[in-house]
């Protein structure tokens, strides 16, 4: 990072520190022009705080350089940043066209030039028919596209999107995601997107930055993070079971009771902290104790069933209190036919098995 700072390169170079009560944020980020970074992490990790600090809406120490210019001491309107919060934050008293023209006007453009820029962005995002409407007359998807148009019309060099799709229904989310992907491809600034949805991260971002307790704990392409999650939270984000514990010569001893056996050689020295990941599809369910070769087997009870599309059902199971093998909770993924065959519903006792070859254990 020091070399980039000395060279004053284009893009984003930031070291942001925020202290608020017991919470502290200490994050370094470097991103090239055209890059889209997805920020993910558990609630309270500092994602929105980081965006607000970069936008100048949250007091922060350190430095924020955008295209080689230090902006940390500048007012928000002077930073060349575009801000799209979850609710869009459109000006209710202005028309759609006036909302979009606000960015150029704030940067000093004349009324006619700002109006022309607004018309251009409304055309690009298929919003021209709504130009004279007020935000209260828009659907959720239309309002979010207007918020994106307003941010982009100001010609930002840093675009900050704070869960812009979170409040939309599934169909609208798909439409807005498609529009966002199209326009982010041609945006030559840096984009930071906060999201809790893995599909948004996988389809919109080229890098995934994982925050936890105000620190970056993983930074890699989304597919690489999905294959090798660095924490239980990240693994669960991508739909896998994950457990922290201590490496042994046979697998992983969990924090608390239980453990998982593996077929391969241990991934690190015994006694080191480790992470075990088990895909839900690898979790088998049985009405009686199985007699097969699975080395991980324990009694459990169905706690919850959740449909996942038309052909899969996720089953949450909790370990029987009388046993100490296996894990306290595990998610299996089965077909609706298997739900019927096994008579699955909340409270049904079952046996769970996971082959040792299906458990991936890595050091932490």
Q: Per-residue pLDDT for the chain (364 aa), expressed as one digit of tens each?
A: 333 443 446 899 999 999 998 999 999 999 999 999 999 999 999 999 999 999 999 999 999 999 999 999 999 888 989 888 877 688 889 999 999 998 888 778 888 999 999 999 898 888 899 999 999 998 888 888 898 888 888 889 999 999 888 877 888 788 888 888 888 888 899 999 999 888 888 889 999 999 999 999 999 998 888 888 888 888 888 889 999 999 998 899 988 778 999 988 877 888 999 999 999 999 999 999 998 767 899 999 999 999 987 889 999 999 988 877 889 999 999 999 999 999 999 999 999 999 999 999 888 7
The two tokens of residue 184 are: 């982010």
- Report whether 185 contacts 204 (CB < 8 A): no
State the pTM of this model: 0.79
Between the CA of residue 106 and those of 31, 73, 79, 84, what are the distances in Å?
A: 26, 18, 12, 16
User: Shortest CA distance to 156 belongs to which of 49, 67, 73, 37?
Assistant: 67
Instruction: Write out 258-313 in H/E/C secondary structure.
Output: CEEECCCCCCCCCCCEEEEEECHHHCEEECCCCCCCCCEEEEEEEEEEEEECCCEE
Residue 166's contacts (CB-CB under 8 Å, 6 or more residues apart) are 86, 195, 196, 197
In the chain, what are the domains?
2-227 (3.40.50.300), 245-363 (2.40.50.100)
The two tokens of residue 313 are: 């059902």
């Amino acid at each position: 990072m020091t070399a980039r700072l000395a060279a004053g390169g284009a893009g984003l170079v930031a070291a942001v520190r925020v202290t608020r009560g017991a919470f502290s944020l200490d994050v370094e980020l470097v991103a090239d022009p055209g890059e889209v970074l997805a920020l993910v992490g558990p609630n309270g990790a500092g994602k929105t705080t980081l965006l607000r600090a970069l936008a100048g809406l949250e007091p922060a120490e350190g430095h924020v350089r955008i295209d080689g210019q230090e902006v940390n001491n500048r007012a928000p309107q002077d930073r060349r940043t575009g801000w799209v919060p979850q609710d869009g934050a459109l000006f209710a008293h202005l028309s759609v066209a006036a909302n979009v023209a606000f960015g150029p006007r704030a940067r000093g453009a004349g009324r006619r030039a700002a109006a022309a820029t607004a018309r251009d962005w409304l055309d690009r995002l298929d919003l021209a028919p709504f130009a004279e409407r007020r935000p209260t007359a828009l659907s959720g998807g239309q309002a979010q596209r207007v918020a994106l148009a307003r941010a982009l019309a100001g010609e930002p060099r840093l675009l900050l999107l704070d869960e812009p799709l979170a409040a939309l229904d599934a169909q609208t989310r798909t439409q807005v995601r498609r529009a966002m992907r199209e326009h982010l491809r041609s945006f030559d600034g840096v984009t930071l997107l906060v999201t809790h949805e893995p599909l948004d991260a996988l389809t919109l971002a080229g890098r995934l930055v994982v925050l936890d307790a105000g620190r970056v704990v993983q930074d890699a392409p989304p597919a690489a993070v999905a294959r090798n999650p660095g924490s239980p939270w990240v693994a669960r984000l991508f739909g896998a079971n994950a457990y922290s514990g201590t490496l042994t010569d046979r697998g992983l001893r969990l924090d608390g009771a239980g453990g998982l056996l593996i077929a391969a050689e241990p991934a690190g020295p015994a006694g080191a902290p480790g992470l075990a990941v088990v895909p839900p599809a690898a979790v088998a369910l049985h009405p009686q104790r199985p007699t097969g070769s699975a080395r991980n087997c324990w009694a459990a009870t169905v706690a919850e069933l959740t449909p996942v599309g038309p052909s899969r059902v996720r089953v949450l199971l909790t370990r029987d209190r009388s046993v100490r093998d296996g894990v306290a909770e595990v998610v299996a993924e089965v077909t609706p036919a298997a739900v019927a065959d096994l008579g699955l519903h909340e409270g049904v006792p079952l046996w769970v098995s996971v082959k040792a070859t299906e458990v991936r254990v890595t050091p932490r």
